[in-house]
Amino acid sequence: MAAGLVAAEIVLLQIENPLGIVLPLAVLSLVLIFGSPDPALTMACIGLFTISWDRVSFRTGGMTLKPAYVVFVLALLIDVLEQRRVATGASPASRARVTLVSRTIVGFLLLLVAATVYNGFLLEGTRQIFVIVFGALVPAWVCFRIGQSQERRLRLISWALAGAGFAAAFGVYQFAATYLGLPTAFAYQGVGGNLGRTAGLSYEPAFFSMYLLSVLPLLVVLLVERRGGDHGVRVPLRGLFVLLIVAVFVSNARAGYIVLPFAILVPLVSRGSPGPVRARPVALLCAALTALVIVSVVARFDVSEFMRTRIASITDTEEAASNAPRLLLYEVDRRIAADHLVLGIGPGTLGYALPRYGLPLTYPGYAAEPTRAVANNIWLQAVLDCGVAGVAGVALVLAALYRLARRSRDAWARQMAVGCLLVFLVGGSLTSIFWDAKYWVLIGLALAADMAPGRRPGGHPVGDSAFDGVPAETHARTSG
């Protein structure tokens, strides 16, 4: 089976550089050689830690292959071969949420297949569907399957947060290297307003900031829990919080600035935890602001003026760097979509349609690889890929996340759903990120936590001495 998957990868993606496969296989070999007691979990943790490493991916055959994708495929194969049983006893509401997401995904994939066959771009469409399955759905399924064990889920969450911290640290270093002349493995030259930008290990600053913000709600809840030391996540949370705030700021992405306050405030309102919020978040915010002052001194600019002009520039429709080209693209996208409402133009074919509608492929890389062209909006992208029914698919997934954020018994599941919702609603209006693995792994973990919550009713964390080891029904009687 593994050989077949690798062969399919080579054929469909036309891989010229096999390093994207060799590296994960080498990691798996080391894991097995050194006798990891849970190789599937170890591989999944490695995948979560490296999932944002876009810059070490391999762009071939019009598609991007990330080593993390192969790692998750291997983790799934190992977990299936080990025949681990998933958790049972989930509530009917939790099962209904999983069923809704699962059926929506299956319907979405069938629509993409139908659109591919109908429009005749078989190779381009097959590549896109292949990447959606192995680059988003397989990682999500691995996290869902493995994450239904609370102990394993804590390991996964720890490594996901550690991966975000590593990416944030590299991004801050990359930003500093621009001003201080330091060496960096992946240089990024970009300016927004009068300040430089950093993309970290991602392709673009907006992707970088959205990735960090997707995990911030969970981090905020971990910080303000009444018994924060009992949550089981082995990551320095205070330092990570400050690091993420600084990294989002120096990403210099306007969408990130809009989402940032919501990513902090919404978890505080919806955390569902007993007791008042301590003063710790205030101290952490002060620490983050102090770090931003240090950044401003190094970069020699006025923070308040910079923020005012950057946020105000969002409404400037004539801005040549971003807004004007984006609005032009949206207009052409709408025209194409209006002419192909039933089954769209097929996945991976926008680059062929844009010139026919009067928009040359002038963006770097699009002319050489038309399959790289995207609508820069998840709703338009859905219509273009498979017609108006695709919009319903996106809406159903977001509706499931909303219900998860409002009704899940597990506080962590709620906040992971909040992080994905914020990214899809704000970042998804500016970029085509719906099938990005960085968010689907969080969806998988959130659904797993919802199926097998690590929280007792009322929001008490497992590990709280008052309820640790007490069956849920016993707690319900004693707390009634």
More confident residue, 96 or 286: 96
d(CA 111, CA 88) in angstroms, rounded, equals 32
**How many domains is the chain partitioned into structurally?**
1
Mean pLDDT over residues 98-121, rounded?
A: 92
CA–CA distance from 99 to each of 140, 147, 404 (Å)?
14, 17, 13
Is the confidence at residue 429, as pLDDT, over 70? yes
Q: Is the residue at 158 inside a domain?
A: yes
| Percent of the chain clearing pLDDT 90 (strictly above) | 27
Does 291 fall in a domain? yes
CA distance 228 to 280: 11
More confident residue, 365 or 232: 232
Check residue 461 and give its pLDDT.
43
Note whether residue 288 is domain-resident: yes
What's the domain range around 217?
152-315
* pTM reported for the whole predicted model: 0.83
Whether residue 79 contacts residue 145, with contact meaning beta carbons closer than 8 Å, is answered with: yes
Is-contact 450 410, C-beta < 8 A?
Answer: yes
Quick check: is 257 in a domain? Answer: yes
Q: How far is CA 441 from the centre of its chain?
A: 7
228: in domain: yes
Contact 164, 50 (CB under 8 A): no
**Residue 221 clears pLDDT 90, i.e. is over it:** no
Residue 194, domain member (yes or no)? yes
Specify if 6 maps to a domain. no
Q: Which residue has the higher pLDDT, 455 or 180?
A: 180
In this structure, what token pair is assigned to residue 25? 């296989």
Number of Cβ atoms within 10 Å of the Cβ of 164? 28
SS (H, E, C) 178-195: HHHCCCCCCCCCCEECCE
The residues, any chain, with a CB within 8 Å of residue 18's CB and separated by 6 or more, are 10
**DSSP label at residue 14:** T
* pLDDT value at 296 more than 80: no
Range ranked top by mean pLDDT from 20-29, 286-295, 451-460: 286-295
State the burial class of residue 275 (Cβ atoms within 10 Å of its Cβ: 0-12, 13-18, 19+): exposed
* pLDDT above 50 for 95: yes
Tell me which of 469 and 38 has the higher pLDDT. 38
Position 219 pLDDT exceeds 70: yes
Q: Is residue 157 predicted with pLDDT exceeding 70?
A: yes
Higher pLDDT, 157 or 257: 157
Quick one: 169 exposed, middle or buried, by C-beta within 10 A (0-12, 13-18, 19+)?
Answer: middle
Average pLDDT across the chain, whole number:
77
Per-residue confidence at 319, pLDDT binned at 50, 70, 90? Answer: low
Q: Is the dihedral of CA 285, 453, 210, 21 positive or negative?
A: positive
Q: What is the pLDDT of residue 168?
A: 94
Residue 247: which residues within 8 A CB-CB, separation 6 or more?
Answer: 167, 168, 169, 171, 172, 198, 200, 208, 209, 212
Is the residue at 296 inside a domain? yes
* pLDDT at residue number 16: 43
Query: How long is the chain?
Result: 480
Checking if the pLDDT of 349 tops 50, the result is yes
Least confident range from 9-18, 79-88, 206-215, 448-457: namely: 9-18
Burial label for 191, CB within 10 Å (0-12, 13-18, 19+), is exposed
Mean pLDDT for the stretch of residues 454-461: 43
Does residue 78 or residue 194 have the better pLDDT?
Answer: 78
